[in-house]
Structure 1
Amino acid sequence: MWKRALVAALLSVSASASAVDADGFSQYVSQLKQEAGEKGYAPATIDAAFADIKLFKRAISADRNQPEFKKTLDTYLPQAVPQWKVDKARKLYKEHRELLEEIGKAYGVQPRFIVALWGIETNFGGYTGNYPVLSTTASLAYEGRREDFFKEQFFAAMTILDQGHISADAMRGSWAGAMGQTQFMPTSFLSYAEDYDGDGRKDIWGSLPDVFASAANYLSNVGWQYNQTWARQVKLAQPVDESLQGLKVKKTLAEWQQLGVRRFDGSDLPVRDIEASLVFPDDADGRVYLAYANYDALMRWNRSHYFAVAVGYLSDRIKFPAID
């Protein structure tokens, strides 16, 4: 029975893959173009947006075959935050300190977190992706598994083009449509991107003032707390019931202390009126963190505990050089 089910599933995937063809995509793009006209986009914007749209099967393949994560934080963090990245983060922090501190105060976000996000997302702008965003979002919408989401991203990208922030050929990003040095999806761009240098364009591709301010604006709008850090690694003096684990459960540090949560060195938790969640990014045998509001904000940026921990860890390495 299970063999027949497996064969049926494979045939279904094969049929779905074969349905992704150039002719079908061309018809789908024609429908998008008609809808763009109905939405009121300027004719010049429509012409520019649809001038060179192509079917990107590589983006569809990447979306269908995202690898399962089988690492642990202990193996992941040295790869995500190697010493050279820490050194570069500190160097760039010093190089752009004045701008970073100005933006940090304006948006209520500590500069070290802005730099850490920049480093984890795109290696400080070194790799932002080279996929044409209009083509990839159209291709992924056509594929159909998440049509509504990627169709929304496509039209958001058209709005960005319509507003004059970037040209169609320069609007490039990841296979999923994440753009620029902040790796914003087009809808996130429209919600959070900033024109901090005042040139009339929100340039998250090439303007560091815009890049830093856009990242800070995003965090500020999703609950960032300037007077808090992100999390602290802890140890358990006794098991904590599974019902109390995860980001949905918030307790004060005093309450976690009573439940047997201790600093990583085994000493008592700080005496401070602050709420936190107990999270296990791996499993019961892996690392344990008390996650504060800023951890939640990082999870809004990217819903991966590994991402949140990597950004937080790099930010700590920027702040505390002595831990090397």
Structure 2
Amino acid sequence: MITYPAIIRTTGLSLMMASVMAVGLAVAEPPIAPKPPGTKPEAPVAEAAPDGELAAIPTPKVKPDDIPPAAAPSGPYERWAADFRSRLLAKGEFSAEFLDEQLADLKLIQRAIELDRRQPERTLTHAEYLTRVVSQTRTNQGIDRFKRYREDLRAAEEKFGVPAEIVTALWGIETSYGAITGGFVVRDALATLAFEGRRRSFFEAELVNLLKIIEQEDRDYREMLGSWAGAMGQSQFMPSSFLAYAVDGDGDGKRDIWGTQRDVFASAANYLKQSGWREGERWGRAVSLPSGFDRSLVGSDTRRSINAWRDLGVTLRDGSELPPALENFTARLIQPDGAGGPAFLAYRNFDVILRWNRSNYFATAVGILSDRILIGAE
């Protein structure tokens, strides 16, 4: 399993990562320290509740006698589903008819449980990870898709202020430009993992969010496909992220992150904008460190101006000076593989990418791929 923080990112889990997990690989990188109080979370999540309870569902508002009976449960999974239905009815948010239709014939996906429990067998270094994720094939495909969908990507950039190449890179890393979005019925995947119980509150809350999407968007759950963990469509949004960030990019009145490119691009750009993207600024850049560099400055949350890093001997990867920048333009220094490995100045937009997926590996891959796509497309 790829072990970077938050196996279920608030916007969902990368299908590319799931494919790597299937062969027993794991990324070993230092955990990212929690953000201090007051910082914006990666994505909205339901409040935690003890296992066995549905997160954020209050005391019943109707009498038990008013709740229509469900079909008699015949096994543990069916009993959990019946209890889940009863709790939703008690909250009064959905009608009995709607729940009977949407929760009928729930399927238990054993493969989802296996993938959720899979343990890593070996680790990938940052360099190995980049070789796999930012391959020449993916770069070439990204350049092609950038040119093919330039108008749609630019429309999202103009509206949300997020560079088209960043959106393209996210699209490429998450789902290979929409080619690998997952073949699991998200309703069944979420129900399975809620029943399994290790993170019941989280997955029950996401299943509730999925039901809200079905009702609001008038969608057929059988067509809502995604990863084994419930990440949906070409942008791999969890249902909570869909409700918070998905937008109608083409003006047809629907938010379709499965098959409408303008919606896919606009939704990804909106996610980053709402997470604090600073228009006109880079994500970061690869740098070189002088011999004898003070290691205490690496990996710290302390931000310094570009001029301060220049004074400490930090240069571009080719040895040339860091470009001039305003004094208030600051960066952190990271070195994912430790001493001797690649080093990067991480600007504030790097931290925004971390709100999509809290992994230095992932964020540097997005940045590097976006740079290569932009250079190749020009």
TM-score by length of 2: 0.75
Q: Is residue 198 of structure 2 the alignment partner of residue 145 of structure 1?
A: yes
> What's the C-alpha RMSD, in Å, of the aligned pairs?
2.0
The letter of the residue matching 1:34 is: S
Structure 2 counterpart of 1:299: 354
Q: Distance in 2 between matches of 1:252 and 1:122?
A: 35
Q: Is residue 371 of structure 2 the alignment partner of residue 316 of structure 1?
A: yes
Structure 2 counterpart of 1:231: 284
Asked if the contact 2:143–2:377 (Cα under 8 Å) also holds between the matched residues in 1, the reply is no
Q: Distance in 1 between matches of 2:184 and 2:292?
A: 47
Q: Distance in 1 between matches of 2:312 and 2:97?
A: 63
Asked if the contact 2:160–2:269 (Cα under 8 Å) also holds between the matched residues in 1, the reply is yes
Percentage identity across paired residues of the two chains: 44
The CA deviation at 1:242 is 5.0
Q: Is residue 228 of structure 2 the alignment partner of residue 180 of structure 1?
A: no
Q: How does 1:69-80 map to 2 (within 5 A)?
A: 70-80=123-133
Structure 2 counterpart of 1:205: 258
1:131-175 per-residue CA deviation (whole Å, 9 max, x = no partner) reads 111211122122222122111111111111111252111111101
CA spacing shift, 1:191–1:243, aligned 2, 3 Å: farther
Structure with greater helix percent: 1
Structure 2 counterpart of 1:166: 219
1:42-78 per-residue CA deviation (whole Å, 9 max, x = no partner) reads 3343123201212222112211115366122322222
Q: 1:250 aligns with which of 285, 303, 326?
A: 303
TM-score by length of 1: 0.87
Q: Is residue 319 of structure 2 the alignment partner of residue 266 of structure 1?
A: yes
CA spacing shift, 1:155–1:77, aligned 2, 3 Å: same
Q: Is residue 35 of structure 2 the alignment partner of residue 35 of structure 1?
A: no
Q: Distance in 2 between matches of 1:162 and 1:322?
A: 40
Q: Is residue 185 of structure 2 the alignment partner of residue 132 of structure 1?
A: yes
Q: 2:154 aligns with which of 98, 101, 110?
A: 101
Identify unmatched segments of 5+ residues in structure 2: 1-73
Q: How does 1:8-19 map to 2 (within 5 A)?
A: none
Asked if the contact 1:133–1:171 (Cα under 8 Å) also holds between the matched residues in 2, the reply is yes
The CA deviation at 1:97 is 1.1
Q: Distance in 2 between matches of 1:262 and 1:68?
A: 37
Structure 1 counterpart of 2:67: none
Q: Distance in 2 between matches of 1:262 and 1:228?
A: 19
CA spacing shift, 1:312–1:69, aligned 2, 3 Å: farther
The letter of the residue matching 1:286 is: G
Q: 1:30 aligns to what SS in structure 2?
A: helix
Q: Distance in 2 between matches of 1:70 and 1:240?
A: 27
Greater CA drift, 51-60 or 63-72: 63-72
Structure 1 counterpart of 2:168: 115
The letter of the residue matching 1:78 is: T
Q: 2:167 aligns to what SS in structure 1?
A: helix
- Aligned length in residues: 302
Identify unmatched segments of 5+ residues in structure 1: 1-21
The letter of the residue matching 1:202 is: R
CA spacing shift, 1:224–1:69, aligned 2, 3 Å: farther
Q: 1:290 aligns to what SS in structure 2?
A: strand
The letter of the residue matching 1:160 is: I
Structure 1 counterpart of 2:29: none
